[in-house]
Structure 1
Amino acid sequence: MIQECIVLAGGLGTRLRSVVADKPKCMAPVNDKPFLFYLLQYLIKQGITHVVLSLGYKSEQVIEWCEQAGLPLTLSYAIEEEPLGTGGAILHAISHIKGDECFIVNGDTFFDVTLSDFHLFHKQTQSKLTLALKPMRQFERYGSVQLDQQGRITAFLEKKYCEEGLINGGVYLTSRAYLQGLGLPQQFSFEKEVLEPQVQHNQVFGFVSDTYFIDIGIPADYEQVQVDFRS
């Protein structure tokens, strides 16, 4: 089982500015603890021992909290001096990984995927890059994902109203060798310059997990997570 994970925690939280003021999105308070606390607790329970935090905006706030939190994790910090885009952030952070393969999670999303099952699927399909997908009903905030019968992703569809479908849950599994071998620039979009082109090469698989999912990117879901995490 892979024990390393990158957390993409450099987001500004502009849509949450009214409720979280001047904080990185991962530090948005949820019942008096930062959202990041719950994400790291989840990773610990899943057997992760080394987390690389990809940081940008107000990185010192995140580091200060982490250094005082006393979590049973080895933490490394990959700090963007300038915005690198989602892809550049991943490429910068993956150089801090000790092994080759690692999980990657969004720092403003909680998706309760069983990582050992996710890893097994990744191995069985001999995938280069695997996404965790969440089944959703009646949504328009997210683009949807199409799969073939082998679990290979065949298309990413634009955001529009869907009665039901699969969305990208923001949890990935890939390897440093694979990403570094794509010849990518320092600054790029992971979605546009890795996911979409690699789907055309039949390189990307989707692991479906109908487990708890929330994205705190908008105030309504940020309010919902306060209730959900109270227990």
Structure 2
Amino acid sequence: MTTTAPSATPTQAVVLAGGQGSRLRPYTDDRPKPMVEIPGTGTPIIGHQLSWLAEEGVTDAVVSCGHLAEVLQDWLDSADLPLNVTTVVEKEPLGRGGGLKFAAAHLPHPDRAWYATNGDIWTRFSLREMAAFHTERGATATLALARPRIPWGAVETDSFGHITDFIESPPTSYEINAGVYVFAPEFAGLLPDVGDHERATFPQLARARRLAGFPIPQGAYWRAIDTAKDLTEAAKELAALKR
């Protein structure tokens, strides 16, 4: 009986960095969203991402550019990066799934597993553990799952309707797609040329029990940078972590 050898931990990744970041204006008036700096760090979001990927064993990254691509490319060309970076630019909008497929075609090892991350995610957790989780489940794709804090205070009540407590910005009870992935080599072939993989490819894999969800470990940092408020909150949280 022939058995398939376990996949090695990925050493290549795609970073999706083509979004316009309209909710982050005026920060994104002259730069793409991943080039926005988190106050107090002196480094754009994508700089943090590439450092994290390198720390987790990634040696090659493909950055998919779009809005104000030249600004991002100029920074990548001038930065002292800890890994090899290739940039690609869509000539026409391909959608999230098509863009991911286009970028994946430029990975140096198409026969090996790969990571992917959205360009507006600021996080730190073990990608190696996530890759092991992915391999153990024989998944075609694995999504990191986060429990973000809701932006409002929550109220607890008893069975009679009395308010018993107030909780400031508690974590949601639902897990969400955290925008970080591990993909088997064959995943790229399942992506649409144009369109959204989250509405086509992911549901198909879920029905076939080939889609896994890796909960980001409790205490690990994760935040999506969507608005100016997110930048402010990220700066506060990072300052607190350094104390």
> If the length of structure 2 is used for normalisation, what is the TM-score?
0.79
Q: CA deviation at 1:136?
A: 3.8
In 2, Cα distance between equivalents of 1:48 and 1:40 = 9
| 2:33 aligned with 1:25 | yes
- Say if 2:30 is the partner of 1:47: no
Task: Pick from 50, 65, 72 the counterpart of residue 62 of structure 1.
Answer: 72
Q: Residue 57 of structure 1 aligns to which amino acid in structure 2?
A: H
Deviates more, 1:38-47 or 1:193-202: 193-202
- State which drifts further: 124-133 or 38-47: 38-47
Residue of structure 2 aligned with 1:115, choices 124, 127, 137:
127
Larger radius of gyration: 2
- Letter of the 1:12 counterpart: Q
Secondary structure of the corresponding residue to residue 209 of structure 2: coil
Which residues in structure 2 correspond to 1:1-231 (within 5 Å)? 1-30=9-38, 31=40, 32-99=42-109, 100-136=112-148, 138=150, 163-180=172-189, 182=190, 184-209=191-216, 210=218, 211-230=220-239, 231=242
Give the SS at the match of 1:92: helix
- Determine helix, strand or coil for the equivalent of 1:164: coil
Q: Please give the alpha-carbon distance, in whole angstroms, between the structure 2 residues aligned to 1:188 and 1:9.
A: 17
Equivalent residue pairs, number: 208
Q: Is the 8 A contact 1:7 1:52 kept in 2?
A: yes
Between Structure 1 and Structure 2, the one with more strand by share is 1
| Mapped partners of 1:87, 1:185: distance in 2 | 6
- Give CA deviations for 1:171-222 in whole Å, capped at 9, x if unaligned: 1111342331x3x442111211211232122210001113211111122112
Q: Kindly report structure 1 stretches of 4+ aligned residues shifted beyond 6 Å.
A: none
TM-score, normalization by structure 1: 0.83
Distance change (3 Å), C-alpha of 1:204 and 1:19: same
| TM-superposition CA deviations, 1:84-134 (whole Å, max 9, x none) | 111111100111112221000010012322011001111111111100111
Give the secondary-structure state (helix, strand or coil) at the position aligned to 1:127: coil
Q: Percent identity?
A: 29
Say if 2:61 and 2:85, in contact at 8 Å, map to a contact too. Answer: yes
Letter in 2 for 1:205: A
Separation (CA, whole Å) in 1 of partners of 2:172 and 2:142: 25
In structure 2, distance between residues paired with 1:192 and 1:222: 29
Structure 2's unaligned 5+ residue stretches are 1-8, 153-170
Q: What's the counterpart of residue 148 of structure 1?
A: none
